[in-house]
Amino acid sequence: MTETTPHVVIVGGGFGGLTAAQSLAQARMRVTLVDRTNHHLFQPLLYQVATAALSPAEIAAPIRAVLARQRNARVLMAEVTGVDLARRQVTLRDGELAYDFLVLATGAGNFYFGHDEWEAFAPGLKTLEDAVEIRRRILLAFERAEREPDAARRARLLTFCVIGGGATGVELAGSISELARSVLARDFRAIDPKQTRVLLLEGGDRVLPAFTPDLSASAERQLAQIGVEVRKGARVTRIDGDGVWLGEELVGAATVLWGAGVRATPLGASLGVPIDAQGRVKIEPDCSLPGHPEAFAIGDMAVLLDEAGAPLPGTSPVAMQQARYVAATIRAGLGTGAGAAPRAPFVYVDKGAMATIGRSRAIARTGSLRLSGFTAWMAWLLVHIWYLIGFESRVLVMLRWWWSYVTFRRGARLITDPIERGPHRPR
Amino acid sequence: MTETTPHVVIVGGGFGGLTAAQSLAQARMRVTLVDRTNHHLFQPLLYQVATAALSPAEIAAPIRAVLARQRNARVLMAEVTGVDLARRQVTLRDGELAYDFLVLATGAGNFYFGHDEWEAFAPGLKTLEDAVEIRRRILLAFERAEREPDAARRARLLTFCVIGGGATGVELAGSISELARSVLARDFRAIDPKQTRVLLLEGGDRVLPAFTPDLSASAERQLAQIGVEVRKGARVTRIDGDGVWLGEELVGAATVLWGAGVRATPLGASLGVPIDAQGRVKIEPDCSLPGHPEAFAIGDMAVLLDEAGAPLPGTSPVAMQQARYVAATIRAGLGTGAGAAPRAPFVYVDKGAMATIGRSRAIARTGSLRLSGFTAWMAWLLVHIWYLIGFESRVLVMLRWWWSYVTFRRGARLITDPIERGPHRPR
């Protein structure tokens, strides 16, 4: 490898970016992966950190460690502030990085439909920091309820409102309800955590709309079994310190969590290429940016329509398949001159989808097969353990799950900040 | 139990406070344990969190969960701001708590010998938040070194300075050196983590002065074997953004950690009873406060002299033995009227001490037996696993240790805040 070896810069160490880097392991290229954090996050299990079942380190792996043995790859912890497509330069907060090929995979963040003022009252679940903050809010609500003499205020502290009936919302609501009813049941004296109310507010007419109506109905039944109240057609008009407003009706809740909307990270909008209403880059059929065959955008920050004209879902299989496709394109581009050969379009192979609802409850579909309940949950468990990056995490997470399953305990019930939160000061 | 059942208030959920609560399980009393965090911390392993070997949840257990089955105990997460000894009331930030018996066990914090301005540059290791902050600084120093083109600045980023040759300092220094030399060795491209310098600065003439001189000498040899430079007679005169000043000499280091001094928490000084220069309450031979036979102070916030006139060490065995002794005194006090019967003085039974230096390196003494090297480390390992509260942690920590031992990997290498640190905002 020399300085003239083609240089591939990958921005983002999520499912898309990391897979792209790994798929270039055999290529005679220099690969630089840039991320503003030092870890790859196994986002499908983030709700388990938020509800105290797993520790952050069990669902995150240092990107450096994942790529340690890949000699053509280096990892930079840095913040990308922009891309100069004409000059083929990535702008960092403190420097620049020239590329021959570029893969953008910075994902999506929470979106509050223009109501950014809701964010302080209803955090979303995108990063490890978000998960620890949500865990803190949930556990503190029980601590405050234990000390609250006023019945109405106590009820408000024991009401948890999750907005959005997609996978994140369903998983969070189910997991909070189980935390309260099984795990915390014995721990308190003044309150009965079983009186906890968990509401799942969905604007549409069913939860998990990405699945078939019968699976949605099954999910709603399973949620009811573990004590989650599902309200459909719930249009949120305001979120404040009192709770969630649905028009004139106030749902009083001390803890409100947001799972309703995401929006592509702002990098896409800064590129000067067409984006859609969710801020996603409208990529070409070969995942490249219009007019820039050497630059690609994949995963949640990009949008591509399937043959029926619907956007591909914002899931890790899409990002990972796009990453492998783009890596193959880049490798092929070496021989023919970048962008010279006509490229076959990216085709998404849908292997199925699953969502978990709670301990031994889930729904899943693959091909024409539809599962729900315990079998779907077992499938979910096996798939998620299998894809956890790093053998250590896999074994330890499995053990921890088995232990929680048998004992109804959760190990990571930590509030790691003072009661009155402020910026961290070492004491 | 009724409202007239005697009420014991325990302040602090560390080794002393938690043991006191558990030792009152069979007493016909109401027990209230107050702590400003929700977790009991296994402080002897805190340095393992600071050096990315263990996760916070593996060395901390929710106090509520530990006391869940003890029906006469309740747990309050609250901040104690003072005690009115005359009225027998504990003042909380947001309320009051009347007691019949009081056990104060709030421990100690870092002490910078009057130089509080050093704290920002040299955090100490007392809480989970401290440990995560130190882990962040250590890992970020390597990340920054990887991107630093200037050789002198890179060397400064790769220099770690630990101040204080007591157990905390020795454990931190040894563990950082092993992290750099074994765990991170493969992960970087531009830097060689094996060129890391770890300095341990001790003001006296040997490290671990609580042990015999031959064990101190053994510890110094073992530290040298794993690459730690020990400097004795090092008088720190200033700590700033450049590093540590020893008079006119600057030891340039990007990461400076403090293990040199502790001081009792301020609650002791607020009581209006005599304290010593380290802020510790001068307790009576029965661990009670002078003039208040119903109120006790134990552990690191109190000072008691042994028969030779030396203060008992600030270790968990002292705190736990005092806790059991005080619990027995309180139970006995029930029959005789509080403080009426003459009490036998507290006697500390010294079962030994140990300090770990690194992977398979330690020193230990028990009775006349002195161990060093691998046998001392095995003894250290067994004792620490045994005393980890909670079966789940014990098994998982053992597995994690076994795994790191075999593979030289550390699982918790997470930087969980943006590069430029600020107060947390959900994103």
Of A68, A417, A426, nearest to B187 by CB-CB distance is A68
Q: What is the pLDDT of residue B392?
A: 58
Predicted pLDDT at B375: 92
The Cα of B292 is separated from the nearest Cα of chain A by a number of Å equal to 28
Residue of B nearest to A419 (CA): B36
At residue B252 the predicted structure's pLDDT band, cuts being 50, 70 and 90, is very high
To the nearest whole percent, how much of chain B has pLDDT over 90?
Answer: 73
Give the model confidence (pLDDT) of B345-392 as tens digits. 999 999 899 999 988 899 999 988 999 999 998 888 888 877 776 555
Q: Which of B65, B139, B412 sits opposite A187 (nearest CB)?
A: B65
Task: Identify the residue with better confidence: B415 or A426.
Answer: B415
Q: If pLDDT is split at 50, 70 and 90, which confidence band does B417 have? A: low
Rg (CA), chain B: 22
Place B416 in a pLDDT band, splitting at 50, 70 and 90.
low
User: Smallest Cβ distance to A416: which of B120, B129, B393?
Assistant: B129
Strands B228-231 and B197-201, by their bridges, are parallel
Nearest-angstrom CA–CA distance, B379 and B386: 11
Do A280 and A308 form a contact (C-beta atoms < 8 A)?
no
Whether A108 and A265 have beta carbons less than 8 Å apart is answered as yes
- Using an 8 Å CB-CB cutoff, list chain B residues near A411: 57-58, 390, 392-393, 396
In chain A, which residues have their Cβ closer than 8 Å to the Cβ of B37?
415, 418
Among A64, A79, A414, whose Cβ lies nearest the Cβ of B187? A64
For residue B56, give the nearest of A124, A407, A416 by CB distance. Answer: A416
Q: Which of B155-159, B286-290, B418-422 has the lowest mean pLDDT?
A: B418-422
Residues of A within 8 A of B133 (CB-CB) are 424, 426
Q: How far is A382 from chain B (nearest CA, A)?
A: 20
For residue B411, is pLDDT > 90?
A: no
Radius of gyration over every alpha carbon of chain A, rounded to an integer in angstroms: 22
Whether the pLDDT of residue B135 is over 80: the answer is yes
Rounded to an integer, the average pLDDT of A113-141 is: 94
Closest by CA to A247, choosing from A230, A233, A258, A262, is A233
Q: B307-340, pLDDT tens digit by residue?
A: 888 999 999 999 999 999 999 999 987 654 555 5
The 10 Å CB-count burial string (b at 16+, else e) for B238-269 is ebeeebbebeeeebebbbbbbbbbbbbbebbe
Indicate if the pLDDT at residue A18 is higher than 60. Answer: yes
Which residues in chain B have Cβ-Cβ distances shorter than 8 Å to A139? 38
Tokens linked to B166: 């007591």
Q: In the numeric block, which tokens belong to residue B135?
A: 């882990």
pLDDT digits (tens, 9 = 90+) for B65-86: 899 999 999 999 999 999 999 9
CB pairs under 8 A between A and B: 178
How many Å from the N-terminal Cα to the C-terminal Cα in chain A?
48
Nearest to B426 by CA among A250, A107, A238, A136: A136
Does pTM top 0.95 for this prediction?
no
Contacts of residue A182, Cβ cutoff 8 Å, sequence gap at least 6: A359, A408
User: Are A57 and B58 a contacting pair, CB within 8 Å?
Assistant: no
Nearest 5°: the CA angle A269, A10, A20 is 115
pLDDT number for residue A336 = 47
How large is the greatest C-alpha to C-alpha distance in chain B, in angstroms? 74
Report how far apart, in Å, the C-alpha atoms of B117 and of each of A391, A423, B110, B378, B409 are.
44, 17, 13, 40, 36
Instruction: Determine, for residues A419 and B123 on separate chains, whether the beta-carbon distance falls below 8 Å.
Output: no
Express as a percent the part of chain B with pLDDT over 70. Answer: 90
Best mutation site among A111, A265, A396, A400 for testing chain B: the one with the most B CBs within 10 Å?
Answer: A396
Contact (CB<8Å) B147/A400: no
pLDDT score of B407: 67
> Where is pLDDT greater, at B378 or A318?
A318
Given B3, B117, B146, B171, the catalytic residue:
B171
- Mutation for testing the B interface, residue in A31, A408, A419, A420 having most B CBs under 10 Å: A419
The 10s digit of each residue's pLDDT in A336-371 is 455 556 789 999 999 899 999 988 899 999 988 999
Closest residue in B to A74 (Cα) is B189
**Percent over 70 (pLDDT), chain A:** 90
**What's the pLDDT band for A421 if we cut at 50, 70, 90?**
very low
ipTM of the complex: 0.86
- How far apart are alpha carbons A305 and A347 in whole angstroms? 10
B279 and B263 in contact (C-beta within 8 Å)? Answer: yes
Which of A144, A424, A425 would you mutate first to test chain B, the one with the most B CBs within 10 A?
A424
Average pLDDT score over chain A: 89
Residue contact B147–A416, C-beta within 8 A = no
Residues of A in contact with B188 (CB under 8 A): 64
Contacts of A174 (CB under 8 A, 6+ apart): A222, A223, A226, A228, A356, A357, A358, A361
For the ranges A53-57, A225-229, B134-138, B422-426, the lowest mean pLDDT is seen at: B422-426
Per-residue pLDDT, averaged over B143-151, amounts to: 93
A286 pLDDT higher than 90: yes
Say whether pLDDT at B412 is over 80: no
